[in-house]
């Protein structure tokens, strides 16, 4: 199962790789480090088990919200909006990404793609 948090500000998604992910402002201690003063040093814990995500607030100062509701603990469902002290994420839960996509993403991240434009080149588009 692929679990990730997609930041609502458009920055890169965060993949939840471990069964337990500690979220907070304590750099070097938290698995998911968020450098904002509104985040507690140990803000919350995300648990990944049996294809589901669970959240538990760790008595944070500014709280954890799911779909606008303050929570101390609960399950996270696909599409839920999760907020740590006002910093928002959309929850994604789905099948693992096919291995070929991971390889291609890693291998060609900084490469230009070839295109078949009909010119005199070694690459041609063959139509039926």
User: Residue 98 maps to which CATH number?
Assistant: 2.60.200.20
State what percent of residues in the chain have pLDDT above 70: 74
Is residue 43 a part of any domain in this protein?
yes
Quick one: tokens of 16? 């939840």
Kindly report the pTM of this predicted structure: 0.72
SS3 content of the chain, % helix, strand, coil (to 5): 5, 40, 55
Which residues span the domain enclosing 74? 2-107
Looking at the domain assignment, is residue 120 inside a domain? no
User: What integer pLDDT is reported at residue 111 of this predicted model?
Assistant: 55
| pLDDT at site 97 | 61
Decide if 128 is inside a domain: no
Question: Is 122 a member of any domain?
Answer: no
Task: Give the model's pLDDT for residue 115.
Answer: 47
Report the SS3 class of residue 41. coil
Query: Per the structure, how many domains does the chain have?
Result: 1
Give pLDDT, residue 86.
87
Q: How many CA atoms lie within 13 A of 18 on its CB side?
A: 9
How large is the average pLDDT for residues 22-41? 94
Average pLDDT over residues 45-73: 95
């Amino acid at each position: 199962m692929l679990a990730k948090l997609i930041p609502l500000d458009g920055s890169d998604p965060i993949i939840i790789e471990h069964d337990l992910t500690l979220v907070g402002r304590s750099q070097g201690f938290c698995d998911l480090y968020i450098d904002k003063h509104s985040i507690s040093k140990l803000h919350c814990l995300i648990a990944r088990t049996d294809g589901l995500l669970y959240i538990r607030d760790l008595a944070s100062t500014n709280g954890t919200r799911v779909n606008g509701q303050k929570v101390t603990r609960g399950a996270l469902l696909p599409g839920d909006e999760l907020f740590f002290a006002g910093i928002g994420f959309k929850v994604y839960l789905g099948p693992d990404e096919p291995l070929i996509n991971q390889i291609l993403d890693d291998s060609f991240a900084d490469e230009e793609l070839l295109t078949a434009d009909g010119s005199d080149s070694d690459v041609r588009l063959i139509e039926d």
